[in-house]
Amino acid sequence: MIQVTKIFRFETAHALHGYNGACRHVHGHSYQLHVTVRAEEPEGFFPAPGILIDFKDLKRTVNEKAVDRLDHALVVSTTYLRANPDISAEENLLVIDAEPSAENLLLFIRNSIRPYLPKSVTLSSLRLYETADSFAEWVL
């Protein structure tokens, strides 16, 4: 098994409905996302051009399908929006079906990018740093 990882950075605000703490209020993070994909290793070496996936192609897919949607957005759940309808006019609002915790953002990212990867490549893991020393991880 061979794996490669590409790292992305983006800024996102969110609020967690029903959370008993400061995270129930709108606040932001400088996220760091590690996207790891894998493929079966060939006999010997990868044929020309010798790569599992072009980092440029992985970058384009992850940016188009996930990061560009999250970057500088306010992400809230449908429940949060129902309780706070005044934010519905925000132009950078992204509403998802779950509370936008680091764990649920990972699942949102997974669901957003996995269908668009080449058939020969499998999404292996996602690691989302919400702060420099706190992350959530999804592993296949």
Residue-wise DSSP of 59-98: HHHHIIIIIHHHTTEEEEEHHHHHH-GGGGG-TTEEEESS
| 48: containing domain | 2-139
Mean pLDDT of the chain: 95
- Most distant CA pair in the chain, distance: 60
Tens of pLDDT, residue by residue over 61-110, are: 999 999 999 999 999 999 999 999 999 988 899 999 999 999 999 999 99
Residue with tokens 């590690």: 34
Q: Do you find a cis peptide bond into 49, omega within 30 degrees of 0?
A: yes
pLDDT range class, residue 126, cuts 50, 70, 90: very high
**Per-residue pLDDT, 40:** 87
Average pLDDT over every residue of 116-135? 96
**Per-residue pLDDT, 100:** 97
Predicted TM-score (pTM) of this structure: 0.93
Tens of pLDDT, residue by residue over 39-65, are: 988 888 988 999 999 999 999 999 999
Q: What is the CATH number of the domain that holds 88?
A: 3.30.479.10
Total tally of structural domains belonging to the chain: 1
Burial category of 23 from C-beta neighbours within 10 Å (exposed 0-12, middle 13-18, buried 19 and up): middle
